[in-house]
Amino acid sequence: MVLVRMTITAENSEGYASPAGLVVDPVVMTVKAGELQVLLIRSGDRHSLPGGFVLPDQSPEEAVYSHLESKTGVRGIYLEQLKTYATPGRDERGWIPSIAYIGLVESSKLLAGDGEWFSEIPETAYGHDEIITDAIERIRGKVWTSNVVRPLVPEEFTLGELRRVIEAIVGTELDPSNFTRDFPNAGLVRKTGNKRRFGNGRPGAAYRFLSADPMWAPTRR
C-alpha cells in the first residue's frame, strides 16, 4: 500500500524551489486547576497550536497575534519567540518552517470556542508536541528571574497565591515560609499596602508586579 499525500510546493522568480509558506505557532499556557495547561485547537482528528501562515509583508509577530486572536479570542498578551522548527518532513503539507512563540495568559481570557486547555498533551499535528515540550522547559527556566507569571495572577495578589501558580509551573512544592521571605527580594514585586484574602486563611499583604512589561530580576551576574 502506498501512502499518497498532497504537498504544496513553491518556486521563486529565479526558478529555484522555495518554502511553500511560513507559519507561526503560539504556545499559550495557563495555570488552571493547579496544573500547567496548553491552549490547542482541533485540527481534523488531532490537535494543533493556534497558529497559521504569515502573509507577505507581514511580520511574524503580527501574524502570530492575529492567528491566536482569530482562533481562540486570546488577545493583548505578550509572546516571546521560542525557536524555529524547519526539519524536512515535520509538516506533511510541504516545506513550511514554523516559528514558535510562548506566552502565558489567565485561563478566563479564552473567548472563542475553537480553543481548549490541555494538561496532558493529546495527539498533535505538524510535530507540535516537540514544540510544546520545548516551551514548557523554557517557561520553567524563566519563572524565578523574570516577571513572566504576571499574567497568571490578579493585579494584586498574596505571595501564597503567587506561590501556587509557580508551583504549578515548575511542578514541585515550595516551602511557603522561604518563598514569602525570598521572592520579594528578587526585586520584581512590591507591597501595595492593602490586605487580601486567598482561600479561607489569614489575609495577607497584597503585592503587585513592578512592571507589566517583560522584565528580568536585577542583579543576575
CB 63 within 8 A of CB 55: yes
Binding partner selected for residue 20 from DNA, its own copies, none, CB under the kind-specific 5 to 8 Å limit:
its own copies
Cell of 109: 481570557
Query: Whole-angstrom Cα distance, residue 30 to residue 44?
Result: 24
Binding partner selected for residue 73 from its own copies, DNA, none, CB under the kind-specific 5 to 8 Å limit:
none
Query: Whole-angstrom Cα distance, residue 48 to residue 129?
Result: 9
Query: Whole-angstrom Cα distance, residue 38 to residue 27?
Result: 7
Binding partner selected for residue 203 from its own copies, DNA, none, CB under the kind-specific 5 to 8 Å limit:
DNA
| Region 92-151 residues binding DNA, contact defined as CB under 7 A | none
Binding interface with its own copies (CB under 8 A): 8-14, 16-22, 53-60, 81, 83-84, 86-88, 94-95, 97, 99, 144, 221
Binding partner selected for residue 124 from its own copies, DNA, none, CB under the kind-specific 5 to 8 Å limit:
none
Query: Whole-angstrom Cα distance, residue 164 to residue 31?
Result: 9
Considering the rule CB under 7 A, would residue 175 count as an interface residue with DNA? yes
Binding partner selected for residue 180 from DNA, its own copies, none, CB under the kind-specific 5 to 8 Å limit:
DNA
Question: Considering the complex, what minimum distance in angstroms separates the CB of residue 110 from DNA?
Answer: 25
Long-range contacts of 187-192 (CB under 8 A, 24+ apart): 187/217, 187/218, 187/219, 188/146, 188/147, 188/215, 188/217, 189/162, 192/156
| Region 184-203 residues binding DNA, contact defined as CB under 7 A | 185, 197-203
Main-chain dihedrals φ then ψ at residue 145, nearest 5 degrees: -120, 10
List, in sequence order, the alpha helices (H) in 33-76. Answer: 60-72
Measured from the CB atom, is 100 or 165 closer to DNA?
165
Q: Cα 163 from chain centroid?
A: 19
Question: Considering the complex, what minimum distance in angstroms separates the CB of residue 47 from DNA?
Answer: 32
Measured from the CB atom, is 38 or 54 closer to its own copies?
54
Question: Considering the complex, what minimum distance in angstroms separates the CB of residue 39 from DNA?
Answer: 26
- Residue owning grid cell 486567598: 198
Residues that bind DNA (CB under 7 A): 158-161, 163, 175-178, 180-182, 185, 197-205, 219, 221
